[in-house]
Amino acid sequence: MKDRKKHNVFVSWSTFFWCTLLVVFSSIIFTTLTFFPLRYFYHQEVFHPNPVLKWRSSEQKGKNDNSRATMMVKELVMLPDQALILVNYPPSFHFHSKHDLQCVYFNGDASHFTEPPIKVDSNGMNEKIVRCSLHPNVYNISLIIKPNSVISTPNSSIYQWDPLVYEAIFDRDNTTIVFVKGLNLRPEKVDEPSRFQCIYGWDFTKNKFLLKSDVISVAQEIIRCKTPTSILSGKTHTQAHDMKVSIKMEGKGIFPSIARPQYSPPKQKAHKMCVCTMLRNQARFMKEWVMYHTRIGVQRWFIYDNNSEDNIDKVIESLQESGYNISRYLWPWVKTQEAGFSHCALRASATCEWVGFIDVDEFFNVKMKGNLHNVILEYARAGSYVGEIRTPCYSFGPSGLKQVPKEGMMVGYTCRLAARERHKSIVKPEALNQTLINVVHHFHLASPFVTVNVDSGVVMINHYKYQVWEVFKEKFYRRVATYVADWQQEHNVGSKDRVPGLGTKAVEPEDWSKRFCEVRDMRLRNWVLRNFRNRRTHLLPWQPEFENHIRRRRKMRKDKGHL
């Protein structure tokens, strides 16, 4: 066709508008999808990076992102012989040993120096406890995470040991038990409760945010308070892990406090007989003590570790792996054995019908037929009001030895003093007086409960008090009881807690190995050899050689299994 039709193309304004809007909208979507993720990533990682702590291990950096968590010094307590640093340690972080940390000391002239910590430990919660040596002219102490990350210690977080509220427990009777250093009350005496008041809160400098309650009883280092209704009703329960408790004493104001109350576990009397002890650097004697007492009826162990520097934690872990029901509780507070025993009685009351309070160098020597359960049945029959069974103690000497006996205390030390020295107790926790007063050897009981004394012909305590000098001299450095003077101090020289004729210096007398030997007592030694000694190797199960023998036998069985 020569003639073509000419078609005029016409687009309406409405169509033009919607097409333009579609193009603009598509451009916006395209730009957002293309560039925004990169810009967002760049904004987050470059301009506002999340803090990555340098001391995290390379393994953890590739795992969970802990960038929001922080490690901080919660409190620092200046004990008489060391500094105790309580560190808030997020549970997802890698736990650092003493080799990863340094104690840093700041002097008054703005200089500082560092040294390794004495020990790093865990209290079973989200806190780690770092112990540092003390030095003169130091005004602040903190920590360095190697190589150079400093964790600062605010001055407001530094506490002197005396006075200080240092532990607290919510008891099941709607009271709070508060442990206080610095009350300076007399032993075994009850004070007037109206002179005191319990204070609960998060900041004791702000009065309007504090809860106050009446005091029920006061004795020695322990105050029992009525727990405020708002805490019992659960209104403050969500913040209970941060809340502290303190006491206000007439004429002295509010005591400084680091005590955050713990909740008592529910009752479930699973054990007839348990044992509580407080120790320091006694790891090498632990296995003998636990293995023997388990054999004669002890079912549960509460070990209060008073700043040990040996491998006590490893020994306890080994016993746990072998099936012994034993737990370690860090109790770093100096010269507070009575308070520690009261604390342990509260914890043990949930699971134990009876609790014995003895030291690691003290052994129940049961002479009647049966074990400790039979002793309890004999002296505390069902329906009776017997709340405490007191057992006489007899002190053994070095027995002519000059070196630690390889077979252990019970076999090695066989010579003792003729006269009894004091006693130790097995108590029913429910029978204890609400003040929880004790003098290490026994507790005060509530009415109508009574105490019975056991004859030494039935059961006695073999107290290996005066061992070879290598062991005994360690006792000179520090005593744990509150009202017992250290042997290096010129106090109560005539006390039975003193070593007769030794004085105040840790200098070995020439005749030490022959002292304290009036009666040759072989009974417990012979019983142990009959019931514990391996017939093939003649070794006892707590001897290191016995463990090596077991390892070799297991290896031989394993090798035979592969043949």
What pLDDT does residue 18 have?
A: 56
What pLDDT does residue 64 have?
A: 38
234 sits in which H/E element: none
Token readout for 20 is 């333009």
Q: 271-520 has which fold?
A: Spore Coat Polysaccharide Biosynthesis Protein SpsA; Chain A (3.90.550)
Query: What digits encode the pLDDT tens for the residues 142-177?
Result: 998 877 777 878 888 899 999 999 999 999 999 999
Q: Whole-angstrom Cα distance, residue 48 to residue 308?
A: 45
DSSP 481-549: -TTS--TTSSS-TTSTTSPTTTTTS----TTGGGSS-SEE--HHHHHHHHHHS-TTT---TTSHHHHHH
Residue numbers of the chain with a pLDDT score lower than 50? 1-11, 28-68, 237-238
- Please answer whether residues 103 and 133 qualify as being in contact, where contact means their C-beta atoms are separated by less than 8 angstroms: yes
Q: At what angle do helices 283-295 and 312-321 cross, to 10 degrees?
A: 30
Q: Whole-angstrom Cα distance, residue 369 to residue 298?
A: 16
- Quick one: which of 339, 313, 444, 321 has its CA closest to 387? 444
Q: Whole-angstrom Cα distance, residue 517 to residue 398?
A: 8
What pLDDT does residue 149 have?
A: 79
Cβ burial 60-77 (10 Å sphere, 16+ → b, else e): eeeeeebeeeebebbbbb
DSSP 263-325: EPPPP---EEEEEEEEESS-HHHHHHHHHHHHHTT--EEEEEE-S--SSHHHHHHHHHHTT--
- Does 164-263 match 72-160 at the fold level? yes
Q: Burial level of 315, CB count in 10 A (0-12/13-18/19+)?
A: buried
Residue carrying the six token digits 């020289």: 493
What pLDDT does residue 475 have?
A: 81
What pLDDT does residue 44 have?
A: 29
Q: 164-263 has which fold?
A: Immunoglobulin-like (2.60.40)
Domain residue limits, the chain: 72-160, 164-263, 271-520, 533-561
CATH of domain 72-160: 2.60.40
Q: Whole-angstrom Cα distance, residue 352 to residue 195?
A: 34
- Quick one: which of 338, 344, 445 has its CA closest to 387? 445
Tell me how far apart the terminal alpha carbons of the chain are, to the nearest angstrom: 103
Token readout for 266 is 């529910």
Q: Whole-angstrom Cα distance, residue 541 to residue 292?
A: 10
* CA 211 remoteness from chain centre: 28
Beta-carbon contacts of 549 under 8 Å, excluding residues fewer than 6 positions away, are: 534, 537, 539
What pLDDT does residue 448 have?
A: 96
Q: What is the pTM of this model?
A: 0.83
3-state secondary structure of 425: strand
- Please answer whether residues 361 and 285 qualify as being in contact, where contact means their C-beta atoms are separated by less than 8 angstroms: yes
- How far lies 102's CA from each of 89, 97, 187, 528, in Å? 16, 10, 40, 46
Q: Look up residue 534 and give its amino acid.
A: N
Residue carrying the six token digits 């003290």: 362
What pLDDT does residue 252 have?
A: 87
Q: Whole-angstrom Cα distance, residue 244 to residue 165?
A: 9
3-state secondary structure of 360: coil
